Amino acid sequence: MDFVPKVILVAGARPNFMKLAPLHRAMIKRGNNPVIVHTGQHYDHNMSQLFFDELEIPKPDINLEVGSSSHAVQTADIMKLFEQVCVSEKPDLVVVFGDINSTIACALVAKKMHIRVAHVEAGLRTGDLYSPWPEEGNRKLVGSLANVHYAPTNQARENLIKEGIQKENIVVTGNTVIDSLVLASNKLDINEKLLNDIQKKYDYLEPNKKTILVTGHRRENFGDGFKNICNAISAISNNNKDVQFIYPVHLNPNVIEPVNRILKNHKNIFLIEPVDYIDFIYLMRLSYLILTDSGGIQEEAPSMGKPVLLMRDTSERPEAIDAGTVLKVGADENNIVKYCQNLINDNSLYDSMSNRNNPFGDGQAADKIKNHLKNLNL
């Protein structure tokens, strides 16, 4: 009978699960039933059974329920609880995703217990330790701990090599978040009832208007950054009555306060609560362009031909900027207004950004990781 290694997949927030889900499905097909551990780092009221059903994975086997606290306390709490999981489960491999506190905490525990670590979405770098913080620090630290690194792009691979990681321990796979995007988008294409139900939720959006989707949550933009972002959206709204905005507003008070104060009285700006994953994919497909400070959307939107204006000063995904699918405008009111207006008015500029190839993969990343894991000597 073939040996089947015991694998733990660790997630701590919604974006982690979107990266985890394709690998879980691929491993199940291979005959390996990995244990899903949710650290509970980010509580999300939308992370219901529906969320996991949409991703076609079960609810986590183990939830550490650490919740929010300071970076140090949260990281320490995750480490203490995850060590107990490793003692009881005795995994051969721990797979971590992305760059949140759960990623570094669980990687460090596994390493101290002589358990092999694989890092999915390895090698992303901004080159500025404090932008974003603590994500840039987390991913650099995990890079020094992991035994195998699944890099989404060749640029990410080069970043790791520059930091002394052996080439044979790096595999370029694309990003599994694109796998999840392809699955969700296909569901909208083939499930007419699902599509109709979602369309009804947003029937207040006028089909003859250009829809701009907005997301924002980065702590680097708290304060003046969000004030500038909201002032820019307000100005664009006032100057373009044939444009409408839809903005699923992050629940952090540092986001809610300026958004409601500056934007709530605009008739062509729709402020809504955070939405389910499949709804968000629908809104991305519906949108004309996207204003965001997100990391993952820089990868997802180009797959749909949607230009992205990145409201950050740095990006760990320079490939998207180099490819011309993402334009970095920062949290600068004048820049946001200028480049958004250019994309609204200039069809050739819009086409030049929307018709580029996505450098982050083709939706087959999980299979590449699964095949490589199969050949590891665990």
Return the closest-CA partner of residue 209 out of 234, 246, 235.
246
The pair phi, psi for residue 310, each rounded to 5°, is: -90, 115
User: At 44, is the pLDDT very low, low, confident or very high (cuts 50, 70, 90)?
Assistant: low
Which ranges of the chain does DSSP label H, i.e. alpha helix? 14-30, 49-55, 71-89, 101-112, 135-145, 154-162, 176-190, 192-201, 224-239, 253-263, 277-286, 297-303, 318-323, 333-345, 347-354, 365-374
The runs of H, that is alpha helices, within 33-167 are 49-55, 71-89, 101-112, 135-145, 154-162
As annotated, the active-site residues are 99, 121, 135, 217, 219, 250
- What architecture does CATH give domain 7-175+362-374? 3-Layer(aba) Sandwich (3.40)
Residues 6+ apart with CB under 8 A from 329: 309, 310, 311, 335, 336, 339
- With 90 as the cut, is the pLDDT of residue 50 above it? no
pLDDT tens sequence across 282-296: 999 999 999 999 988
Rank 17-31, 33-47, 293-307 by mean pLDDT and report only the highest.
17-31
Comparing CA positions, the residue from 73, 79, 137 lying closest to residue 106 is 79
Mean pLDDT for the stretch of residues 37-66: 84
Rounded to whole angstroms, what are the CA distances from 139 to 95, 146, 150? 14, 10, 12
**pLDDT higher than 50, residue 1:** no
Tokens standing for 72? 């140090």
| 2-6, 177-181, 229-233: least confidently modelled range | 2-6
Statement: residue 104 has pLDDT above 80: yes
Q: Which two tokens stand for residue 332?
A: 């600068």
Is pLDDT above 50 for 47? yes
Task: Evaluate whether 7-175+362-374 and 192-354 have a shared fold.
Answer: yes
User: In sequence order, which residues have a C-beta less than 8 Å from that of residue 8 and are 6 or more positions away?
Assistant: 34, 35, 36, 37, 85, 86, 89, 91, 93, 94, 95
Nearest to 127 by CA among 139, 114, 144: 139
The string of pLDDT tens digits covering residues 57-93 is: 999 999 999 988 999 999 999 999 999 999 999 999 9
Query: Per 3-state DSSP, what percentage of the chain is helix, strand, and coil (rounded to 5)?
Result: 50, 15, 35
The strand order across the sheet containing 62-63 reads 62-63, 35-38, 7-11, 93-97, 116-120, 148-151, 170-172
Q: What is the mean pLDDT of the chain?
A: 93
Q: Residue 130: its pLDDT value, please? A: 87
pLDDT for 295 equals 85
Q: Is the dihedral of CA 101, 103, 108, 109 positive or negative?
A: positive
CB 95 within 8 A of CB 71: no
Q: Looking only at Cα atoms, what is the longest distance across the chain?
A: 69
What is the model's pTM?
Answer: 0.90
Residue with more model confidence, 84 or 301:
84
173 with 368: CB under 8 angstroms? Answer: yes
Residue 166 has pLDDT above 50, yes or no: yes
Of 132 and 38, more confident? 38
List the domain boundaries for the chain: 7-175+362-374, 192-354
- Residue 296: exposed, middle, or buried by beta-carbon count in 10 A (0-12, 13-18, 19+)? buried
- Give the per-residue pLDDT at 154: 96
Which residues 6+ apart lie within 8 Å of 153 measured at CB?
A: 123, 172, 174, 319, 359, 360
pLDDT at 46: 58
Cα dihedral value 148, 150, 154, 155, nearest 10: -90
- Picking from 113, 116, 102, the residue whose alpha carbon sits closest to that of residue 64 is 102
At the fourth CATH level, the homologous superfamily of domain 192-354 is Glycogen Phosphorylase B; (3.40.50.2000)
